[in-house]
Structure 1
Amino acid sequence: MGVQSLAVACGALALCLALTTATNPGFVVRITQAGLDYANQQGIAILEKELAQLKLPDISGKSGKLRYTVSRLRIPSFRLPHSRITPIPNVGLQVSISNAFAELDGDWRVKVFFVRSHGSFNLKVEDVYIKITLRLGSDTTGKPTIRTSDCSARISNVRVRFSGKFGWFYNLFRGKIASKLRKSLESKLCDNVARSVQNELQRHIQTLPVTARIDDKTGIDYSLVAPPRTTAQSLDLDLKGEFYSLDHRSTVPFSPLPLAFPSDHNRMVYFGASSYFFNTAGIAYHKAGALVFEITEAMLPKDAGFRLDTSVFSAFIPQLEEMYPNMTMKFRLSAPTAPFLTIGPGGISFQPTVDAQAYAILPNSSLAPLFLLSLTGNVSAVINVRSGRIVGSVDVGRIRLSLKDSAVGNFEVEFLQSIMNYLTSNVLLPHVNARLDEGFPLALPNRIQLSNILVKYRQNFLLLGADVHFQPQK
């Protein structure tokens, strides 16, 4: 094999490996230009405060026989009135600041021959231009990283005003001080920007949760599956988006499908929660043994109109009266398999199967198994976002019954239809919906609040849009 052929083969192998190891996200976060504009407002406000704390070194020098010193340099104000963050495709983010201005105060001291003088001065820095390139990446834990890869600062105009008695002194060193202060400030600006990115921005984005504990049974994996991506219109973060059991984490037996993310830009941020994201929730809770629910007589609404005992069910199952007369009953509902839902333009739907095991409660409080029913039905779901959490509710149509096992002989399950419909709608669903109303946390950094929520159903994923409000620390 020639060198060229070998290179082609190696290239093809590398491409195959890349394709086979590529991981589709289960959850996508998209920050639009509107979101970047808002982030720019918040970041510039922080940067202005940082630059106002800028420390400049004393400046000394001489001009002919004149020696001068400028000390105690202070920056009463630094204003960045015009700025913008722009995504640069496949590079990162570019921050452009123009027409910035600042004021500096300080003390001056000069000596020429035997003449000495000192005083204070005020320096106005105008037409400041700063350009910063921010590189985006991810660390080994799957958290995003950001760093300054390039920075340039240019000051076009510096005006110095001195206070003191001897005006002719000022002109001897005014130009040199203005030049040195300009160079010092240009250098310090980029140093301070890099420090602010590292200390403020990087620290804040590191609060993006890699894992979010939901309860004592499950958590969500929000780690990045690839470094953040920038296009001309947005910044995208591809997250794993996978629920897992805290005690029994294992590989999910299916993979996320590609998400055809739309080019919506009316909100600051969009979230794409795939069907994979929701279906791993079913697997996690099933493995954790959490998809089990018991219905007892004490849980029946007061207006139920019937009791949960053998005397009621013996009307449909005569053997109960003989075998377990006038005994209280209970049902144990469980999912034999994890529920699997589908998401499409019409909404969310699934057809779960539930096993309903009926028991008689004996006088010694032990349980006697009576019969095992299989319940199936069409379930629809409604999803929303509240307080940074995905919340929802489900509704079920008429359920279908079949008899899987019986210790009290055969009977017609149709006679139990109305009772099981009632127990499902009035006992089970309120419990499920109460849990869904608690919700699951979105992947949000600290102190971020969402408003103006938008919910749309797409093929294989749920699209959530929102505007963002940053809550500063008190």
Structure 2
Amino acid sequence: MEVEKILVLCGCFLLWNPLIQSTQVYPGIKLRITQKGLDYGMQAGMEAIEPIVKKNGIPDFKGSESLEFLKVDYVDYNFSKVFSAKTLKVDVCAFCLMSSRAEGRAALFLAEIFFSGLINLSRSDTGHPTMKLEDCYVRVGHAHISFSGEFSVLYNSFAEPMEKPILKNLNKKLCPIIMDRFEDINANISSLEVVTKFGEDILLDYSLLEPPEITQSSIDLNLKGTFYQVGNLTDPPFQPVPFTLPDRGDSMLYIGISEYFLRSASFTYFLTGAFNITLTTKELSKHLIQNPQGIGSLFSQIAELYIMSQPLMMRVLTTEPPVVSLEPNNFTLNIPGSVVMLTKPKNATEEAIVSMDFVASTSVGLAILGQKLICSLSLNRFRLSGPESNRSSIEVLRFENILSSILHFGVFPLANARLQQGFPLPNPHQISLVKSDIEVHKGFLLVSTDLRYDPLWKKQHFGG
């Protein structure tokens, strides 16, 4: 009896386990920030902090210091002019010596600045990354004051004893300031758009699926990477599959673009009719009239009856979402479609003359331009659908040839022009992708890139 219970439990587990696995959500986009990228991020972070400190400053404070034979009241330490993240220069607006007041200026140099803290990276309910600083510790190890102005020679003689209380006050105040700045940064991160809109019809969801995965030498982020129609956030009728980024560290950032991401784009663009193109009489004429010897009797009659007397149009429609295939060094897109020849007599509705289904096999060229992935199509093969017995027909073969010519010279240039808008690649605000390269692997594309921090304050000051 006990054995039967165990077998029943095992059977239930085997049935239940696939259901658990089926709920696993895999990413459409993977990001990996390598050690090289993290090192650069520290450098860029110091650059980012500099203008923040310049703008907001370290809070001023007042106080006094009693020496063995001298009492100095520092009326106002003004920490508003910071020129370097490592060496800080500030102004002392006024100071008092014994009972007589003298005004002057001083430069305060800070060195041996040490900072440590635990940065907690997570994910908000809206799919935004979040960053929280915990266990902050800041220590400024050395301060040096140099006075100028009235009695500066005398004050410089007693500057060293004043440095200790300044360090004490600074070390007490810096962590709260830094914590506040991190709150500001987190607020900015939380306001970043994780959904990008393409034109009026399409949305791209880049939201974070789970908290970042942190290892000893990298940070991995899994993004949704799904396209939707505006007003319809229904997931496509297929699921992403897992893929693994290669173990590399030569670039700062690696972006894995899954086949699911591209299939999602293909499916959504199909639903919106973005692949459908209509060629006018003028666009058709150079392919039909200028090449009558390759048309065959059917198209010769069409050209004679319609092009010369009334407008003729060719409408290319996709009948199913184009099929994406990623193999090593090979990205292909097979497009099932239909070509319809139409005419529109004066004061009448359109009339279909000929309609035939086809499959176009294309190669996809890839390039990284700026912050976008750019695709371009080139025709490999065009084949009309229909019974195999009809394929030996000279007329059908000629029909294929002329339609292939129209697709190559008329339809694909229009499609490639639309594709030039590209797909925006995920990247932080004010960070540019440089030295980018792209490879085709089985099931995913791999973008390798370095990063460049382009803060707005640099562009404003240096015209970048």
Q: TM-score if structure 1 supplies the norm length?
A: 0.79
Q: Deviations over 1:134-192 (max 9, x none)?
A: 22122232222222112111233344566749969986x964x4333222101222222
Q: What is the percent sequence identity of the aligned residues?
A: 24
Segment of structure 1 superposing worse, 350-359 or 190-199: 190-199
Q: Are residues 1:271 and 2:255 paired?
A: yes
How has the CA–CA distance of structure 1 residues 174 and 412 changed in structure 2, closer, same or farther, with 3 Å as cutoff? closer
Measured in 1, the distance between the counterparts of 2:301 and 2:84 equals 86
Query: What secondary structure sits across from 2:289 in the alignment?
Result: coil
**Preserved CA contact (<8 Å) 1:243 1:284:** yes
Measured in 1, the distance between the counterparts of 2:97 and 2:422 equals 69
Measured in 1, the distance between the counterparts of 2:183 and 2:321 equals 44
Q: Which residue of 1 aligns with 2:298?
A: 316
Instruction: Read off the aligned partner of 1:466 and give its amino acid letter.
Output: T
How has the CA–CA distance of structure 1 residues 386 and 301 changed in structure 2, closer, same or farther, with 3 Å as cutoff? farther
Measured in 2, the distance between the counterparts of 1:329 and 1:462 equals 41
Q: Which residue of 1 aligns with 2:208?
A: 224
Query: What secondary structure sits across from 1:438 in the alignment?
Result: coil
**Preserved CA contact (<8 Å) 1:308 1:328:** no
Q: Are residues 1:32 and 2:34 paired?
A: yes
Q: Are residues 1:150 and 2:139 paired?
A: no
How has the CA–CA distance of structure 1 residues 135 and 29 changed in structure 2, closer, same or farther, with 3 Å as cutoff? same
Q: Deviations over 1:357-398 (max 9, x none)?
A: 232433444222233211113211011111211111111223
Segment of structure 1 superposing worse, 58-67 or 151-160: 58-67
**Preserved CA contact (<8 Å) 1:29 1:270:** yes
How has the CA–CA distance of structure 1 residues 190 and 427 changed in structure 2, closer, same or farther, with 3 Å as cutoff? same
Q: Which residue of 1 aligns with 2:74?
A: 70
Instruction: Read off the aligned partner of 1:153 and give its amino acid letter.
Output: V
Partner of residue 57 from structure 1, selected from 32, 57, 61: 61
Q: Which residue of 2 aligns with 1:212?
A: 196
1:57-456 to structure 2, matched below 5 A, reads 57-60=61-64, 68-75=72-79, 76-77=81-82, 79-80=84-85, 100-106=86-92, 107-109=94-96, 111=98, 123-160=108-145, 164=151, 175=161, 177-199=162-184, 201-202=185-186, 205-206=189-190, 208-300=192-284, 302=286, 304=287, 306=289, 315-316=297-298, 328-403=311-386, 413-456=396-439
How has the CA–CA distance of structure 1 residues 18 and 226 changed in structure 2, closer, same or farther, with 3 Å as cutoff? farther
Q: Are residues 1:470 and 2:415 paired?
A: no
The structure with the largest helix share of the pair is: 2
Measured in 1, the distance between the counterparts of 2:274 and 2:53 equals 53
Instruction: Read off the aligned partner of 2:258 and give its amino acid letter.
Output: S
Q: CA deviation at 1:74?
A: 2.9
Unaligned runs of 5+ residues in structure 2 are 1-9, 388-392
Q: CA deviation at 1:131?
A: 1.4
Measured in 1, the distance between the counterparts of 2:305 and 2:113 equals 92
Could you say what the CA RMSD is over the residues aligned between the two structures, in angstroms?
Answer: 3.8
Query: What secondary structure sits across from 1:457 in the alignment?
Result: strand
**Preserved CA contact (<8 Å) 2:296 2:399:** no
Query: What secondary structure sits across from 2:274 in the alignment?
Result: coil
Instruction: Read off the aligned partner of 1:125 and give its amino acid letter.
Output: L
Instruction: Read off the aligned partner of 1:316 and give its amino acid letter.
Output: L
**Preserved CA contact (<8 Å) 1:225 1:238:** yes
Instruction: Read off the aligned partner of 2:233 and give its amino acid letter.
Output: R
**Preserved CA contact (<8 Å) 1:451 1:468:** yes
Q: CA deviation at 1:472?
A: 2.5
Partner of residue 458 from structure 1, selected from 416, 422, 441: 441
How has the CA–CA distance of structure 1 residues 397 and 159 changed in structure 2, closer, same or farther, with 3 Å as cutoff? closer
